[in-house]
Amino acid sequence: MTKKIRNLKEFSTSNDRYEGANLMCPGCSHNIIVREVLNATDNPVLIATATGCLEVCTAVYPYTSWDVSWIHIGFENASTAIASAQVMYEVLKRKGRLPESTMRAIEEGREPKFVAFGGDGATYDIGFQWLSGCFERGHDFMYVCLDNEVYANTGGQRSSSTPIGASTTTSPAGNVSYGEKMMKKSMVEIMADHGAPYVAQVAPNKWKDLVKKIQKGFETKGPVYINAMSACTTEWKHAPENTIDVSELGVESCVWPLYEIINERDEHGIIYSTKLNITYRPKNKIPVEEYLAAQPRFKHLFKPENRHIIDLWQKMVDIRWENLQKREEAGV
């Protein structure tokens, strides 16, 4: 049963399963995204969180910010933890041993939903094997990557999601370096290529688009991957009050295109068709430069000797945007 949502005011107060009073930085996108995901449904939600900012800031004993069942094991295995909890759910349901409250929820048409949250370190890097395994096995759960393009929890080291030119503590800009040398890994495409029935990229500023995709994901049987832009005040070095503005620049410049990939497949994983939909098209695509200029992690790119990296960025974004449109048009 999909939750009906009318406006932002109603949406933002529509449930209270994640406590805002936690240790996250002011202006952190993680908090916004988690609230948006949880508010997208009235069904019970069970959550696993990878080691990272979200985990260390929201469940510091004897406190917890979570009014849903929540588990943290390690940096790499949030996907396996929640996927296995979902398997246990199916077994106990079959055996008639689910707790009464859960049976009641099912009778009311509110089946529990299983969600893992991981940062880009936990997703693109250390936890990739576990994530890949869970998707290959076809577990029925949603994985949300809170992608802030850096190991923020450990003090800002590069990850394989860190984009070219970003200055991090392990890819610092200096007299002879412009920062990170490699392009960002294409996680959305990689997860879609696992044959996942639903994969989408979202940004917290486009909340309606995000919620629609989360709801679609919850209605999908099988593994769902959501890549969420999560602007990081600490490591992107913008002011806390600018989080949504920076996100907006990311979407409007097509650095962070909003789209979804739907693989129509059967229970054995045979894919009958793949469809890519661009879900938001900027009226006037702004230059990448504006997005970069809003974040001091790219400040050094504006020195004359580094201008070519900004050009490279623009080229990369244009090629990718064009490619997405071609795929959408061709229906593949």
Partner 1 sequence: MAEKMQLNEVEVWDGNMAAAQALRQAQIDVVAAYPITPSTPIVQNYSKFLADGYVDGEFIMVESEHGAMSGCVGAAAAGGRVATATSSQGFALMIEVLYQASGMRLPIVLTVVNRALAAPLNVNGDHSDMYLGRDAGWINLCSYNPQEAYDMTLMAFKIGEDLNVRLPVMVHQDGFLCSHTAQNVRPLQDEEAYGFIGEYKPVNSMLDVANPVTHGVQTEEDWHFEHKARQHNDLMNSVSTIKKVFAEFEKLTGRKYDLLHKYKMDDAEVAIVALGTTVESAEIAADRMREKGVKAGVLGIRVLRPFPFKEIQEALKNVKAIAAMDRSAPGGTFGMLFNEIGAAMLQSGKTPVLLNYIYGLGGRDTTIAHLTDIYEQLDRCAKSGKSEYPLQQFIGLRGPKLSFY
Q: Which residues bind partner 1 (CB under 8 A)?
A: 44, 46, 48, 55-56, 59-62, 64, 66-74, 76-77, 80-92, 94-95, 97-99, 101-102, 105, 112, 129-130, 132-133, 136-137
Separation CA 251–CA 158 (nearest Å) = 22
Q: Least distance from C-beta 64 to partner 1, angstroms?
A: 4
Select 86 or 168, whichever has its Cβ closest to partner 1.
Answer: 86
Shortest Cβ distance from residue 303 to partner 1 (Å)? 40
Strand 177-178 with 198-202, pairing? unpaired
3-class SS letters over 73-124: CCCCCHHHHHHHHHHHHHHHHHHCCCCHHHHHHHHCCCCCEEEEEEEHHHHH
Q: Considering beta carbons, is residue 64 or 177 the nearer one to partner 1?
A: 64
* Shortest separation between residue 74's beta carbon and partner 1, angstroms: 6
What DSSP string describes 157-186? B--TTPPTT---SSS-EETTEES--SPPP-
Instruction: Report in angstroms how near the CB of residue 112 gets to partner 1 at its nearest.
Output: 6
Nearest in space to 134 (alpha carbons), one of 194, 49, 47: 194
Q: What amino acid is encoded at 134 in this protein? A: C
- 3-class secondary-structure state, position 58: helix
Comparing CB distances to partner 1, the nearer of 8 and 91 is: 91
CB of 256 to partner 1, least distance (A): 30
